[in-house]
Amino acid sequence: MKILVIGGGGREHAIIRKLKESPLCGEIWCAPGNGGIACDAICKDIKATDLDAMVAFAAEEKFDYAVVAQDDPLALGMVDRLAEIGIPSFGPNAAAARIEASKVFSKDLMKKYGIPTADYAVFDQPAEALAYITGKNEYPVVIKADGLALGKGVLICEDEAAARDGLKEIMED
């Protein structure tokens, strides 16, 4: 099989190393890849979030299978787009990836179906969020940004000053 792995970090490198162990695996490409991945796969410098360029490349190279590992291209619908051109992929489609891509969607889903989760509230304005936090006066408080934040979208604030700083960082800066 000719396989395309989409992404360029340690996760993708580990996936490539395991794929190489399969007798079904032939040629492995990675886009964009990185210097370390280049030791184990052919790298193509295409941003993982450039769906049009990636899909055109995948069609041109006639990949048998793709692995979409990064959150951003999953949330943007890379799996859906590859399926449209007949390339099966490992990874959730855009609708399923939404559970990771949106904290608000995830929390609302858990609430709707009675899945235990911490109490939460959603705000668009920092002043409203701060009023809610100070009104509850329960610390530490967790502040999360909605959307993909590359592992940096969660702040644990031990007091009001930290919460105020956190809200400024997430909602204003």
Q: Tens digit of pLDDT for each residue in 20-36? A: 999 999 999 999 999 99
Which residue positions in the chain have pLDDT lower than 50? none
What stretch(es) of the chain map to CATH 3.40.50.20? 3-99
What pLDDT does 146 receive? 82
What stretch(es) of the chain map to CATH 3.30.1490.20? 102-172
Distance (Å, whole) CA 65 – CA 68: 10
Q: What angle do CA 12, 15, 104 make, to 5 degrees?
A: 60
What pLDDT does 130 receive? 94
What pLDDT does 172 receive? 85
Q: Which long-range contacts (CB under 8 A, 24 or more apart) does 157-165 make?
A: 157/133, 160/133, 160/134, 163/130, 163/133, 163/134, 163/139, 164/130
| Relative orientation angle of helices 160-167 and 126-136, to the nearest 10 degrees | 160
pTM: 0.80
Sequence-distant (6+) residues with CB within 8 A of 138 are none
Which CATH architecture is the domain 102-172 placed in?
A: 2-Layer Sandwich (3.30)
Q: Which CATH class is domain 3-99?
A: alpha beta
